[in-house]
Structure 1
Amino acid sequence: MSGTTTPVAVVTGGGRGIGRAVCLLLAERGYAVCLSYVADAAAAQAVVEAIIAKGGKAVAVKGDVGVEADVLALFEAADRLGPVTALINNAGVVDVAARVSDMSAERLTRMMTTNVVGSFLCAREAVRRMSTKHGGQGGGIVNLSSVAARLGGPGQYVDYAASKGAIDTFTTGLAREVAAEGIRVNAVSPGIIDTEIHASGGQPDRVARLGPDQPMGRAGTAEEVAAPIVWLLSDEAAYMTGANLLVSGGR
């Protein structure tokens, strides 16, 4: 973040929850923010307006990370803000609790397309811009994984857990692939976090039910996940790549 050029961060799913908290914190740290959203235009625009109100730069782009054309449009919008130096692969979906024996092909395709293929496509575009091999100035990528990758999600969402297991492997492989090209790739694995994602999976009371059972006695907040994400992009984490930080309250 040296010089006078404003660094640009792309945050997928930046309108709500962890993505929103990341956008606001990145803006505080001097980044221009290009965030994507799928449906809630009002929420995404509210994030943009909050950043602009404090003197920052931000733009919201409607798009599905699982659709290649939408990913290309997202990064083209980011390019108009300046050089992309950070990507936060935050967009993800869950589904209603189900056993593997009851999961449809449509459900599995949606889960893997958004959570895995979307992260690959966004990382591809980020690497093309940031890699010194491609004439870039370097940068950082942070992938959102989950403690579910380790716990497996039995009886609820083994498919979601498996998609996050893929993200863990993706983080390790990409980190090693581009380490010599000025790009650091890390992951953060949240536990039970108080965001809207639980309601989208048909369990709006999940935080209230499970929060008190966590080792720290409560669920985490979006801001408590955003802080380590942004830290991983900072110079303080300059020798970290391929890492996966548990932000789970001990879960």
Structure 2
Amino acid sequence: MSEKILLITGGSRGIGAATALLAAARGYRVCVNYRMDEAAAASVVDAIEAAGGTAFAVRADVSRTAEVERLFRAVDETYGPLDALVNNAGTLERQSRLEDLDEERLARIWSANITGPFLCAAAAVRRMSTRHGGRGGAIVNVSSRAAQLGSPNEYVDYAASKGALDSMTTGLALEVAAEGIRVNSVRPGLIHTGIHALGGEPGRVDRVGPLLPMGRGGTPEEVAESIVFLLSEASSYTTGAFIDLAGGR
């Protein structure tokens, strides 16, 4: 069993919550980050502890430098040196064509989906890199199949933000490969989570899922399995890699 320390951003629901539960079951001590829903985060922590695992929750807006530093300090002080980061926190907004997007919406998307992962990755590298006296570690970015498909007529801004995250994954993986840190990504497609309600269509997976080659949408637990694999020593020679979890789409 692993005794490694893991921080998951946006860990109170969906893919983040599933990853927290699975990682804890595999022996990780887990920090569940959340921005708004304290009750949901507490529920994840309670479920982990009920199963014999170790976890705690920290509220922080990961798009803000001061809050990121407070979040990472909380992990330092509670568990000790960080071993792994899952950049899961992100958002989307109501389905829209690009021509109807405005500056405020774009700023919100970029802040959550690009700035947040950059700030958290930077804080993790400062702690994990052998260049800074760390013992190495692993980062997994939660991107989206939308980065390749573009999400026309729905979320071109969201797709573009995940494209930026893909570029960061590749660049950072090369930057820290010799410093003991592996950086990889998962690209989920249509997954049964609450994020679709933010886009104005809670049943989107039910509508589109039957049209996929596999004939269904995916589950957060299926994505979590790939994330935990990329964090683990089972993928010790893997960096800069992407796992698409999109039912063949």
Query: After TM superposition, is the score higher than 0.5?
Result: yes
| Distance in 2 of aligned mates of 1:173 and 1:143 | 13
| Distance in 1 of aligned mates of 2:132 and 2:47 | 34
| Distance in 2 of aligned mates of 1:26 and 1:34 | 11
- 219-228 or 59-68, which moves further after superposition? 59-68
| Distance in 1 of aligned mates of 2:107 and 2:99 | 15
**Aligned AA (1:137):** R
1:8 matches 2:9: no
Aligned to 1:194: 192
Aligned to 1:66: 63
Aligned to 1:98: 96
| Distance in 1 of aligned mates of 2:198 and 2:67 | 22
Give the CA deviation at 1:55: 2.3
The answer (yes or no) to whether the contact 1:13–1:36 under 8 Å persists in 2 is yes
| Distance in 2 of aligned mates of 1:64 and 1:201 | 21
For structure 1, the 5+ residue unaligned runs are none
**Aligned AA (1:56):** G
Secondary structure at 2:182's aligned position in 1?
Answer: strand
Taking the TM superposition and a 5 Å limit, the aligned residue runs for 1:173-184 are 173-184=171-182
Give the CA deviation at 1:65: 1.1
Secondary structure at 1:84's aligned position in 2?
Answer: coil
Q: Cα deviations across residues 1-34 of structure 1 (Å, max 9, x unaligned)?
A: 87xxx31100000000000000001101111101
Q: Cα deviations across residues 171-204 of structure 1 (Å, max 9, x unaligned)?
A: 0000000000000000000010000000112111
For structure 2, the 5+ residue unaligned runs are none
Relative to the length of structure 1, the TM-score reads: 0.97
**Aligned AA (2:60):** G
Aligned to 2:224: 226
1:249 matches 2:240: no
Instruction: Give the aligned CA root-mean-square deviation in angstroms.
Output: 1.0
Aligned to 1:149: 147
| Distance in 2 of aligned mates of 1:118 and 1:38 | 12
Aligned to 2:43: 46
Give the CA deviation at 1:72: 1.1
Of 208, 211, 226, which residue of structure 1 is paired with 2:209?
A: 211
Of 21, 24, 28, which residue of structure 1 is paired with 2:25?
A: 28
**Aligned AA (1:195):** T
In the comparison of the two structures, how many residue pairs are matched? 248
Q: Cα deviations across residues 193-251 of structure 1 (Å, max 9, x unaligned)?
A: 00000011211110110111111000000000000000011111111000011011101
Q: Cα deviations across residues 21-60 of structure 1 (Å, max 9, x unaligned)?
A: 0000110111110111111111100111111122221111
Secondary structure at 1:172's aligned position in 2?
Answer: helix
The answer (yes or no) to whether the contact 1:8–1:33 under 8 Å persists in 2 is yes
| Distance in 1 of aligned mates of 2:183 and 2:42 | 28
The answer (yes or no) to whether the contact 1:7–1:82 under 8 Å persists in 2 is no
| Distance in 2 of aligned mates of 1:56 and 1:37 | 19
